[in-house]
Amino acid sequence: MQLKDSYDVIVVGAGPAGSSTAEACAKQGLDVLVLERNQEVGVPKRCGEGLSHNAVMRLKLDLPKKCIAQEINCAIVYAPNMKRIDIKFEGTEGYILERKIFDKWLAYNAARAGANILTKAFVHGVIKSDGFVKGVAATIMDEEREIRSKIVVAADGAESLIARKAGLRTNKKLNLVDSGLQYEMGNIKLENPKRIELYFGNNIAKRGYVWIFPKGKDIANVGVGIVPGSGKTAKQYLDAFIESCDELRNGSIIEVNGGCVPVGGLMKNMVANGLVCVGDSANQVNPIHGGGIAESISAGRIAGDVIARAIDANDFSARFLEKYNKIWWKERGEKLQRVEKVREAFEKMSDGQLNDLIDVLSGEDLVAFTRGNNLLKLARVMIKYNMKGIARAVGLG
């Protein structure tokens, strides 16, 4: 592949957000370059790899079998007192992916659509002039390069630097980022490999939860997400949980992944002159479960359409690109903002209050809340159980 001096669009990062944006742009005939700092797309994975069937249908993803490690048809949610809600589905309700393959599949799709993708290409700066971002400075296979573009896409993940370098305020408040740590474990005892398990409680995972996402009959991603500054590290919570669990205690750790997960702070503005921000870099994650794969793909597609229109109109200004903010907020943001209220409510509850809720909520209720639906029921139950103050504080009452 011959690297050119300029492109219509440069996408920084080849995660789900970057590859989806690149594919959408390339499908509209744009000249696209994707720069990925790692030497292999999808590696290392930093993800529990869970994706709902609902999201697959909504996004019309023609998911190849090789991307799926395990199909899921039920779930258990444990309250702090270990009371449980069983959620059973008619058929396959979700997937534990093999992200190392899935991310590559997305990248190949972008490449097939015509995007040029380069790995081992670290973007360390943006070129700015006349108040516009006009390209990037990058180290590409040990060689320094400046490459121009009409629009740069910051798809560089949760620790994004690119948007900030371009002048966009993407600073994440500490309390709006979960610290995640996960082990991919082998030789564990799973009662049902088609079932995911979630454990809540302030002693188990302050503000977050522990997950067991099976990838085979004796393999699973076992992870924890917590609010930072809770006195213990994510590793301490995760190790304590594993030690307490007969099914996991003797398992082997085949892989360790960690990273931060935005769980709020949805950005009203995700564009600047010559720049669009997508995926984790714009905090586009479901605030209650931390899932960002589907959100990144949705946002990438919306961004791709708006970028194509901007290039067609020869207008790369923030004022034009604003359309992306508007469409994304209408299609995804408003829903995710409702979900954020649910997360805020749960995080303010004591273990006792969480136990009370588990007694009266069903699996369907929990699934609805994670999608920003049926919040009236949550508000009613909270009021019944003397949580009016919390409901009011988060805007549910």
Ligand X SMILES: Cc1cc2nc3c(=O)[nH]c(=O)nc-3n(C[C@H](O)[C@H](O)[C@H](O)COP(=O)(O)OP(=O)(O)OC[C@H]3O[C@@H](n4cnc5c(N)ncnc54)[C@H](O)[C@@H]3O)c2cc1C
Rounded to the nearest whole angstrom, what is the least distance from the CB of residue 50 to ligand X in the complex?
3
State which of residues 9, 11, 17, 219 lies at the interface with ligand X (CB under 6 A): 17
Does 287 contact ligand X by CB under 6 A? no
CA distances 321 to 99, 153, 266, 294, 325, Å, are 30, 11, 17, 22, 8
First to last CA, the chain: 57
Distance CA 376, CA 338 (A): 11
Q: Which range touches ligand X (CB under 6 A), out of 11-19, 86-94, 127-135, 143-151? A: 11-19
Burial class (CB in 10 A: 0-12, 13-18, 19+), 202: middle
Q: Which range touches ligand X (CB under 6 A), out of 107-115, 125-133, 151-159, 313-321? A: 151-159
Cβ atoms < 10 Å from Cβ of 317 = 15
State which of residues 31, 93, 98, 156 lies at the interface with ligand X (CB under 6 A): 156
Rounded to the nearest whole angstrom, what is the least distance from the CB of residue 355 to ligand X in the complex?
26
Does 135 contact ligand X by CB under 6 A? no
State which of residues 36, 93, 197, 365 lies at the interface with ligand X (CB under 6 A): 36
Q: Which range touches ligand X (CB under 6 A), out of 76-84, 186-194, 284-292, 324-332? A: 284-292
Query: Toward ligand X, which CB reaches closer, 48 or 287?
Result: 48
Distance CA 206, CA 209 (A): 7
Site for ligand X in 205-244 (CB under 6 A): 223
Site for ligand X in 295-314 (CB under 6 A): 296
Radius of gyration of the chain (CA): 21
Does 356 contact ligand X by CB under 6 A? no
State which of residues 155, 275, 375, 378 lies at the interface with ligand X (CB under 6 A): 155
Owner of token pair 């500054």? 229
- Residues in contact with 68: Cβ distance below 8 Å, sequence separation at least 6, in sequence order: 95, 96, 97, 98
Query: Toward ligand X, which CB reaches closer, 214 or 357?
Result: 214
For ligand X, how many residues bind (rule: CB under 6 A)?
38
Supply angle C-alpha 111, 114, 118, rounded to 5: 50
Query: Toward ligand X, which CB reaches closer, 14 or 357?
Result: 14
Query: Toward ligand X, which CB reaches closer, 37 or 172?
Result: 37
Give the residue closest to ligand X by C-beta: 292
Does 149 contact ligand X by CB under 6 A? no
Cβ atoms < 10 Å from Cβ of 145 = 16
Q: Which residues pair with 74 in a beta bridge?
A: 88, 195
CA distances 54 to 169, 250, 287, 367, Å, are 32, 34, 17, 11
Rounded to the nearest whole angstrom, what is the least distance from the CB of residue 258 to ligand X in the complex?
6
Distance CA 8, CA 26 (A): 10
- Residues in contact with 11: Cβ distance below 8 Å, sequence separation at least 6, in sequence order: 18, 21, 22, 25, 32, 33, 34, 35, 115, 152, 153, 155
Does 11 contact ligand X by CB under 6 A? no
Binding-residue pattern over the window 171 to 190 for ligand X, x denoting contact by CB under 6 A = ---------x-x--------
Does 290 contact ligand X by CB under 6 A? yes
Rounded to the nearest whole angstrom, what is the least distance from the CB of residue 209 to ligand X in the complex?
11
Does 347 contact ligand X by CB under 6 A? no
Query: Toward ligand X, which CB reaches closer, 286 or 391?
Result: 286
Residues 155 and 18: beta-carbon distance below 8 Å: yes
Q: Interface residues with ligand X (CB under 6 A)? A: 12-18, 35-38, 46-51, 122-123, 155-157, 161, 180, 182, 223, 257, 259, 261, 279-281, 285, 290-293, 296
